[in-house]
């Protein structure tokens, strides 16, 4: 169905198309999922962060920024949905236009700047979502959090959001790697990151003691880190008791022989071109952490072989976004089926057996 309407959709400005997609999924959920018949492939089931994932394939943050359509999205066969990024206060983000398609490269450049309706609206939507999902442990929802543009002391925003969502999310992702919020990536510097994650852990331990709930907290990092930075982050992540890492966010690099007319736009690049650099960071971090920290692999996935590649390099789970713009949500069931077949072909009874096998 998506391929029929894709030429029309691509006539629209990217942000307009995105907003219409959210409205369609929100107000016409049955029509949107009329052809969605996801199958549970037992060899894709895995427990990560003490959560039961029916599939390792999830939706990356950025699509459902305000937690409006996750209930509909999960019906396409995703193993989990990450909603957000949300910030304490509503903000409009950067000036438009701020999303650019790179059709020839199967890529996107965005400089959105954490545009969202704020944590209070997000919280109401998340509560409604949790009530509608009930106690279904296979419906896993992660919450991606970020700082407001004008916040001086970033840790204040992150602590506030962790306190707000700790009892209501299956996991929380700390986003300090978006290139579209000024100075945000400085939080990845060694001493700053160490102090930052210590403060995060202190907040978590207080909440855990009160609630008796152990909500996983993940850190999302950039693909543009050099070798020494990657090694440093791996060491700090192990020391800080962070639950896992998401590798990686969008890239500010442009040395990918991009062919599309929008290739020189400022912002974060996602899609096919960053597949290899995100894989290299994934491979390095898995090696540095000796496989002790679960990793969610993100960046450039457009096929089941791409998913499998990240799994074999050390990812326990993966996330997709940009490929959906070019292939539609129907690709998720196709990825699940083909990934299941790849595991069978290689003699693996379960996906956990394939994690990290190519990381030498």
What's the distance, Cα to Cα, between the start and end of the chain in Å?
A: 42
| Cross-strand pairs, 99 | 110
- Write phi, then psi, for 36 (nearest 5 degrees): -90, 115
Contact predicate 144/83, CB 8 Å: yes
* Residue labelled with tokens 């996801």: 38
| Cross-strand pairs, 246 | 220, 296
Q: Report the DSSP pairing between strands 107-110 and 268-271.
A: antiparallel
Tokens of 70: 């996750």
Catalytic residues: 178
- Round the CA-based radius of gyration of the chain to a whole number and report it: 19
| Cross-strand pairs, 247 | 221, 297
Alpha carbons 327 and 105: distance in angstroms, whole number = 13
Alpha carbons 297 and 48: distance in angstroms, whole number = 13
| Cross-strand pairs, 320 | 59
Buried b (16+ CB within 10 A) or exposed e, 261-293: ebbebebbbbbbbbbebbbbbbbbbbbbbeeeb
156 CB-near residues (< 8 Å, 6+ apart): none
């Amino acid at each position: 169905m998506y391929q029929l309407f894709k030429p029309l959709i691509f006539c629209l400005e990217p942000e307009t198309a995105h907003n219409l997609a959210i409205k369609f999924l929100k107000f016409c959920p049955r029509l949107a999922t009329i052809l969605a018949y996801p199958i549970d492939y037992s060899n894709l089931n895995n427990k990560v962060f003490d959560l039961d994932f029916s599939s390792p394939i999830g939706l990356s943050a950025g699509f459902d920024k305000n937690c409006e359509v996750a209930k509909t999205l999960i019906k396409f066969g995703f193993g989990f949905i990450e909603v957000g990024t949300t910030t304490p206060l509503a903000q409009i983000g950067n000036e438009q236009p701020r999303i650019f398609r790179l059709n020839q490269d199967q890529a996107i450049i965005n400089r959105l700047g954490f545009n969202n309706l704020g944590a209070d609206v997000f919280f109401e939507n998340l509560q409604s979502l949790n009530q509608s999902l009930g106690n279904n442990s296979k419906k896993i929802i992660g919450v991606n959090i970020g700082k407001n543009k004008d916040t001086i002391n970033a840790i204040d925003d992150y602590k506030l959001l962790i306190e707000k969502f700790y009892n209501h999310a299956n996991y929380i992702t700390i986003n300090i790697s978006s290139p579209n919020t000024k100075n945000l990536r400085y939080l990845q510097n060694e001493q700053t990151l160490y102090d930052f994650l210590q403060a995060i852990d202190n907040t978590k331990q207080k909440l855990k003691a009160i609630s008796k709930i152990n909500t996983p907290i993940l850190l999302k990092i950039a693909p543009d880190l050099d070798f020494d930075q990657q090694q440093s982050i791996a060491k700090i992540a192990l020391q800080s008791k962070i639950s896992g890492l998401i590798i990686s966010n969008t890239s500010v690099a442009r040395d990918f022989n991009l062919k599309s007319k929008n290739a020189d736009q400022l912002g974060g690049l996602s899609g096919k071109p960053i597949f290899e650099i995100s894989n290299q960071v994934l491979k390095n971090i898995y090696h540095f952490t000796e496989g002790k920290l679960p990793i969610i692999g993100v960046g450039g996935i457009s096929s089941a072989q791409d998913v499998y590649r990240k799994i074999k390099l050390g990812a326990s789970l993966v996330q997709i976004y940009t490929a959906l713009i070019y292939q539609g949500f129907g690709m998720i069931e196709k990825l699940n089926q083909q990934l299941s077949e790849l595991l069978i072909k290689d003699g693996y009874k379960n996906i956990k057996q394939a994690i990290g096998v190519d990381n030498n």
